[in-house]
Amino acid sequence: MAKILHYFRITHTKEDYYGSSLFSAHPPTRPETHAEWDMVWSKIQEIISNFGETRTIKVYQDGFTPPEDVHEISTNSPLPLLEAMVDWLRQRDSPNFRILRYLFSHGCRFVRTENLESHPLRIPELYANELNLPERDHFMAKQINSTLHAGEIGILFLGKDHRLDGLLNSDIQVVDYLKE
């Protein structure tokens, strides 16, 4: 059975950083208008809604930093983890996080994408340090390679400056919806 990774390149918004003061010095680049991105997010929601059974879907979101000893969170996780996850998803109100809330509420499993052992930074500091991108990309690819199994579907939301080209295993079929 195939391993399929649905890859959505995104542009982070202010809401993704939950109102961080970093935006005075590091505003996100948004070459498209808000209306164009609203259409993109609507299309992403439509695509995801057609996946069917969601309990076999793993979600990879850049910046996902659960507690250090947790590598995956789902609706079957212990209550303290569930509460922490719900709190994390509620802290932000962006199209990206609305889709993440939808996925979580429909039973998708969220997989850690950030290596906090080598970068003990928390969001939003993690986003602001672009020097870490290649190392973060390698860690994300390693996580996807080791956790996406035959017959499973992965959904990857990744900021447009990240690059996973050549880092994913050859047995992972990548469907890239928003090619640059």
| pLDDT score for 32 | 55
pLDDT at 93 over 90: no
Cα distance between the two ends of the chain? 29
Bridge partners, residue 91, by sequence: none
DSSP string, 97-118: HHHHHHHHHTTPEEE----TTT
Using alpha carbons only, what angle is made at residue 49 by residues 31 and 175, rounded to the nearest 5 degrees? 60
pLDDT at 146 over 80: yes
Mean pLDDT of the 126-141 span: 75
- Say how far apart CA 75 and CA 81 lie, in whole Å: 9
Instruction: Give residue-wise pLDDT tens across range 57-91.
Output: 999 988 777 666 666 777 777 777 777 777 767 77
Bridge partners, residue 60, by sequence: 156
**Letter for the amino acid at 61?**
Q
Three-state DSSP class for residue 8: strand
Question: Under a CB-based contact definition with an 8 Å cutoff, are residues 109 and 150 in contact?
Answer: no
This prediction has a pTM of 0.79
* Phi and psi at residue 123, to the nearest 5°: -60, 135
- List C-alpha distances in Å: 25 to 17, 22, 28, 91, 128: 13, 6, 10, 22, 9
Domain that residue 143 falls in: 3-176
| pLDDT score for 6 | 94
Q: How many domains does the chain have?
A: 1
- Report which of residues 40 and 150 the model is more confident about: 150
| pLDDT score for 130 | 59
Report the side by side order of strands in the sheet with 172-176. Answer: 72-73, 109-111, 57-61, 153-159, 3-10, 172-176
Beta-carbon count within 10 A of 155 CB: 25
**Letter for the amino acid at 158?**
L
